[in-house]
Structure 1
Amino acid sequence: MAQTNLGPSEAPSRTSSPPEGELPVVVRQAKDKDAKVIADIGWRVFEATFAHTCSADDMNDYLNTNFTPDVISAELRDERKTFSVASIGDQVAAFAALTTGTHEPCLEHIPAPERVELQRVYADINFHGRGVARALLDETLSVARKQGYKYIWLGVWEHNYRARRFYEKIGFKMVGSHDFWLGKDQQTDDIFLLEL
C-alpha cells in the first residue's frame, strides 16, 4: 500500500540546473511556514485563470474558502496530502499537492492504492517560462513513484490550453471529464492520467 507522506529525513530537496546566470530551482516538501506564500500564489493564480468565468462574488467566495493561510495550513497537516514547493533563491515560486483517497468514476478500473491525484500545480505568474513548473512536476512524479503509486491523475479546466499542453507534453492522456462548480458557473474539468 502506498504511503501518504514522506518524513523530513525521507524528503530531500532537489535542485535543477539553471541556465547560466540564473539561480537554480530547488524543490522540497512544504512546511507549515509555507502556508502564507502557498495561499498567496494559489489565490493569485486561480484568480488570474478563472476570474473571467464567474461573478466577482463567486470568485471571492471560492478564494476565501480555498486560499487563506489557515485553510492551507490545515491542508499541510492533512495526512492524505503531500505538498511540495519550488523556490528560486529564497522565493517560493510554485507549489503542488499529491492527494490520496480521491475518487473519479473514469478511474474506477485502477485500484485506489495504485493511484494518486496531483492537485494544484500552481506557478507564480512572475516565474512562468523559467522551468519552475517542470522542475516541480518532475520531483512530484518522483515522490509519487517512491510512495508506490503506479498512476497519477489530475483535472484540468477544459479551456486552460497552456496547462493541457504542458501535461500532454509530459505524457498525460485525457481519460474522462467531470463538472466543477465555481459558484453558480458550471465548468468542465478534463481528467488526465499518467502511468508512472
Structure 2
Amino acid sequence: MTDWRLRRASVEDAPAVALVACASFLTTFAGILDGADIVAHVAKNSAPTTFAAWVGDPDSVVTLAEHRTGAAPVGYSVLTTPNLPVDTDSGDIELRRIYTLPGAQGTGLGHALMHQAITDALAMGRTRLLLGVLGRNARARAFYERQGFDVVGQRQYRVGSALCDDVIYARPL
C-alpha cells in the first residue's frame, strides 16, 4: 500500500502546492543553480497565486499528492496550455510541472502522477502531452523516456544569472 493519495487540487490547496513546488525545486536544483537564484525564482514562479490561477483555469489541472497520514503535501503536477517554442495545436497540453519531495521518491508516486496527468489529458480530449526538462537532468530525462516521450525541441530560460538549456519532449496520447 502506498503512503500517499492523489486528488485534484482546489484553490484552498494553492499554499500547500506552492510549498511543495518551492521545496522540490530547491532540492532538485541545489548544487546545480545558485541558491539566491533558486529562492528568487520560486518566489516569482511558485507563489500560491500562480497555483490558484491554474486551479481556476478550465484548461488546466493541478493534482496534489498527499501523505495518507495527516494529508501533508508530498508532490504535485500541473497540466496547462502549452507555452513552449514548438509547433502546437488544440490537441496539445503541457505537463508544466511534476515534482515529488525526496521522501516520496522511489515509491511510485512519480508514475502515479504521470498516469493521472495522462488520464486527465485524455479526459480533456487532448492527443499529445508536451513537457520541458533541464537537459542535464539525466534522472528526469530517463523517467520521461521510459514513459514514452521523445525529444521534439529545445529552449533556453534564465533562473537568475544562470542560462538553462531545456529539452522539450512530446508523447502521443
Shift of 1:124: 1.2
Shift of 1:26: 2.5
Who is 1:34 aligned against? 13
Alpha carbons of structure 1 residues 54 and 88: separation in structure 2 relative to 1, 3 Å? closer
Who is 2:165 aligned against? 188
Aligned mate of 1:176, from 153, 160, 164 = 153
Report the secondary structure of 2:30's partner residue. Answer: helix
Alpha carbons of structure 1 residues 186 and 169: separation in structure 2 relative to 1, 3 Å? same
Q: How does 1:156-167 map to 2 (within 5 A)?
A: 156-167=133-144
1:168, 1:187 → 2: CA distance? 20
Shift of 1:183: 1.2
Q: Deviations over 1:52-107 (max 9, x none)?
A: 333333222111112232332233223442111123312332110111153423xx
Q: How does 1:44-83 map to 2 (within 5 A)?
A: 44-83=23-62
Q: How does 1:86-105 map to 2 (within 5 A)?
A: 86-89=65-68, 90-105=71-86
Aligned mate of 1:149, from 122, 126, 139 = 126
Q: Look at both structures and tell me which one has the larger radius of gyration over its CA atoms.
A: 1
- Residue 72 of structure 1 aligns to which amino acid in structure 2? F
Supply the RMSD in Å over aligned alpha carbons: 1.7
Contact 1:66 1:72 in 2 (8 A): no
TM-score of the aligned structures, taking structure 2 as reference length: 0.90
Number of residue pairs the alignment of both structures matches? 171
Contact 2:82 2:130 in 1 (8 A): no
